[in-house]
């Protein structure tokens, strides 16, 4: 008898709480994830598409959904990946330092077609029609959009060489 009562009582408690949870999940549902907006604000907003998504908004959605890793945004670099991973609570895979690249125009080959600077979401390329173009190196984020746009093949991505004030101490190698 006691056994039966306990089983019944526990089942009843289970049913009540189960119902409560089910009700709560329906009525208290939040439309959309507020983190998407926040994340979108953190992204560079160049809509460069290097992450594989059509734009930064979609990338933010994919990251919140867990489809993309926090390090999917090359223009944002390591520091963006770190702040995204801490915001989403996702572990950042790998410890490698990323290699920064910037666009470089081989000026002897440039025909002045203006396609690269029209493609640049950051206005990091200056030039005019039929004039030689050049890259403002400290503005370029290395998003590679211009590389695809160039019909001459004279635009390449080059790694940024460290300078005295940007050189980083290596982490000590410890047994």
Partner 1 sequence: MLGLRKKPFSGGIHPRGHKELTENTAIVSSEEPRRVCLSLQQRNGVVLRSHVNVGDTIVKGQLVASGPNDMCVPLHAPINGVVEAIQPHVSAHPSGLKTNTLMIKGNGDPTWGIPHVPCDTSKLTPEEIIQRVLDAGIVGLGGAGFPSGLKLRFARQKGVKTLLLNGGECEPYLTCDDRLMREKAAEIAEGAALMVRAIGCEQAIIAIEDNKPDSISTMQSAVADRPNLSVQIVPSLYPMGSERHLIKAVTGHTVPPGQLSTEIGILVHNVATAQAVFEAVRYQRPLIRRVMTISGGALEQPTNLIVAMGTLVSDLIARCGGLKMEAARLVAGGPMMGQVLPSPFVPIDKSIGGILALSADEIRAEQSHDCVRCGRCVNACPMGLMPFQMAAHSRVSDLDGARHFGLDNCLLCGACSYVCPSRIPLVQYFQHARSSLNASRTMERKSAHARQLTEARQARLMREAEAKKAAKAARSKTRKRPARTPRKKADSTDSTPTSN
Partner 2 sequence: MVQFTPVAGPHTHGGTSTTHLMFLVIAALVPATVFGLYLFGINAVIVLLACVSSAVLFEYIGLKLLGKSTHSALDGSAILTGWLLALSLPPSTPWWIAVSGVFFAIVIGKTVFGGLGQNPFNPAMLGRVMLLICFPVELTDWRLPNPPQQGADGLLLGEQWLSTNAIDGVSAATPLSQLTGALPSLSELTTGHHAGSLGETSALLILLGGLFLIWRGIIHWRIPATLLLSIAIPAAISHAIAPESFGSASAHVLSGGAMLAAFFIATDMVTSPTSPKGQILFGIGCGVLIWLIRTFGSYPEGVAFAVLIMNATTPVIDHYLKPAVFGQPNRFSL
Q: Which residues bind partner 1 (CB under 8 A)?
A: 44-47, 75-80, 82, 95, 97, 121-124, 138-139, 141, 162-172, 174-175
- Block residue for tokens 């801490």: 86
In the complex, the smallest distance separating the C-beta of residue 34 from partner 1, rounded to whole angstroms, is 20
Pick 138 or 173: Cβ nearer partner 2: 173
CA 71 to chain CA mean position, Å:
6
In this chain, which stretch among 82-90, 109-117, 149-157, 166-174 interacts with partner 2, using CB under 8 A? 166-174
2 binds partner 2, rule: CB under 8 A: no
68, burial (CB in 10 Å: exposed 0-12, middle 13-18, buried 19+): buried
In the complex, the smallest distance separating the C-beta of residue 161 from partner 2, rounded to whole angstroms, is 16
Among 91, 108, 170, 174, interactor with partner 2 by CB under 8 A: 170
CA dihedral 85, 91, 97, 103 (to 10 degrees): -50
In the complex, the smallest distance separating the C-beta of residue 124 from partner 1, rounded to whole angstroms, is 7
48, burial (CB in 10 Å: exposed 0-12, middle 13-18, buried 19+): buried
How many H helices and E strands in the chain?
A: 6, 4
Q: Answer whether 168's CB lies under 8 Å from 97's CB.
A: yes
Pick 29 or 171: Cβ nearer partner 2: 171
In the complex, the smallest distance separating the C-beta of residue 44 from partner 1, rounded to whole angstroms, is 5
In the complex, the smallest distance separating the C-beta of residue 130 from partner 2, rounded to whole angstroms, is 47
175 binds partner 2, rule: CB under 8 A: yes
């Amino acid at each position: 008898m006691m056994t039966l009562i306990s089983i019944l009582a526990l089942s009843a408690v289970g049913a009540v709480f189960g119902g409560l949870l089910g009700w709560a999940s329906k009525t208290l549902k939040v439309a959309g994830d507020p983190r998407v907006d926040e994340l979108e604000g953190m992204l560079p907003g160049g809509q460069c598409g290097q992450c594989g998504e059509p734009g930064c908004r979609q990338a933010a959605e994919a990251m919140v959904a867990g489809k993309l890793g926090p390090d999917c945004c090359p223009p944002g670099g390591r520091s963006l990946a770190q702040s995204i991973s801490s915001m989403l609570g996702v572990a950042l895979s790998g410890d490698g330092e990323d290699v920064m690249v910037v666009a470089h125009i081989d000026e002897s080959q440039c025909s002045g077609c203006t396609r690269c600077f029209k493609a640049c979401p950051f206005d990091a390329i200056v030039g005019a029609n039929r004039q030689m173009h050049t890259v403002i190196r400290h503005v370029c984020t290395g998003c590679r959009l211009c590389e695809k746009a160039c019909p001459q093949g004279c635009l390449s991505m080059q790694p940024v060489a460290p300078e005295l004030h940007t050189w980083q101490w290596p982490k000590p190698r410890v047994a």
